[in-house]
Amino acid sequence: KCSRSKLCGGMMLGVTLLLTSIVITVTVYPYLPRSCDTSTGLLPQDIVPLHYDIWLHPNLTSLTFKGKVEIQIKVLKRTKCIVLNSLDQNITDIKLKQKDGTLLMTEDFSLVPEHEFVLIPLRAKLEEEEYTLVIHYEAEVRHALKGFYRSYYTTSQGEQRVAAVTQFEATYARHAFPCFDEPQYKATFTISIVRDTEHTALSNMPKNSTISYKETGLLQDTFEKSVKMSTYLVAFMVMDFTSRSTTTSSNVLIRIWSRSETEHQTEYALECA
């Protein structure tokens, strides 16, 4: 049985037909929703994103992270299926809300790794209005140098340390959060990152606020709302770097981050910037 927390579209039945000397292999997705068209391998153009609220809690010890993304979407053409990009994520919950907060009924979602899709079929067609899609998920801070991945460095004492950084160009944002991960789908972004006190979080925009979780001692940094942009331009990182900064004659703040042991080597770069 296919449940909401399992790979549905990814459960394939391999059927091989042997005709004289010709071997034909057919891949069948037994639970692929009929209302979801994935024949082109591209996202349908009936829904566009307007804004993403992204919440991430990376653990640099276990090298895993929890995430939640709330996507404000606009339906351009009535549809019974929402199609997003998602890859290598354990999606635990999906909810769809109207502008007034009313929950709408969805069917069990399906993952299609072949096209890097998550399909969300609906019990009734969405009207040409705005909605909010809320997705909870878990994932690994990746080994490969794409998506949200781990980067190591070694101190002068021989201690290996880790940072979690991003590389989303051209279509790797889908490794970090479910999204409309094609360049034409531009939206604004607000990013919040939970971190340990010894770490620093950075993103595209200046930090807007920091709150403390007293029960755990963790901190949450929330960054200002971004300009409208494609998903491949989103960036964030969590590390234990330190910084030096200066302000230009035009009152522009310039800041350079580095390992604490190499901070003294950043002076020239700061002058050139």
Is there a contact between 89 and 176 (Cβ–Cβ < 8 Å)? Answer: no
Residue-level pLDDT at 252: 86
Contacts of residues 20-24 at CB distance under 8 Å and 24 or more positions apart, as own/partner, are none
CA torsion angle for 115, 117, 121, 127 (degrees, to 10)?
-110
| Structure-block tokens of residue 131 | 């909605």
Dist CA 168 CA 176 (whole Å): 9
Say if residue 46 is exposed, middle or buried (CB neighbours under 10 Å; 0-12, 13-18, 19+): middle
CA dihedral (89, 143, 54, 214) in degrees, to 10, reads: 110
- Write the Ramachandran bin of 214: left for phi over 0, alpha for psi from -120 to 50, otherwise beta: alpha
Q: What's residue 7's pLDDT?
A: 41
**DSSP type of residue 10:** T
Let me know: does 181 contact 231? Beta carbons within 8 Å: yes
Rounded Cα distance between 81 and 73, Å, is 13
Adjacency order of strands within the sheet including 147-154: 147-154, 160-167, 236-239, 200-203
For residue 120, what pLDDT is reported? 94
Give the pLDDT score at 207: 93
pLDDT the model gives residue 203: 95
* Torsion angle in degrees (nearest 10) through CA of 176, 179, 184, 186: -90
* pLDDT at position 27: 35
Query: Quick one: DSSP state of residue 145?
Result: S
Contact predicate 58/193, CB 8 Å: yes
Q: Are 193 and 220 in contact (CB under 8 A)?
A: yes
Residues whose CB falls within 8 Å of the CB of residue 214, separated by 6 or more in sequence, listed in order: none
Mean pLDDT per block of 10 residues along the chain (273 residues) reads: 42 41 38 67 93 96 95 96 94 94 87 91 93 96 92 87 93 96 97 94 94 93 97 95 86 86 83 78
- The answer to whether 69 and 85 have CB atoms below 8 angstroms apart is no
Match 């068209």 to its residue by tokens. 37
pTM score, two decimals?
Answer: 0.82
DSSP 8-class letter at 1: -
3-class SS of residue 64: strand
- Cα–Cα distance between 140 and 127 in angstroms, integer? 36
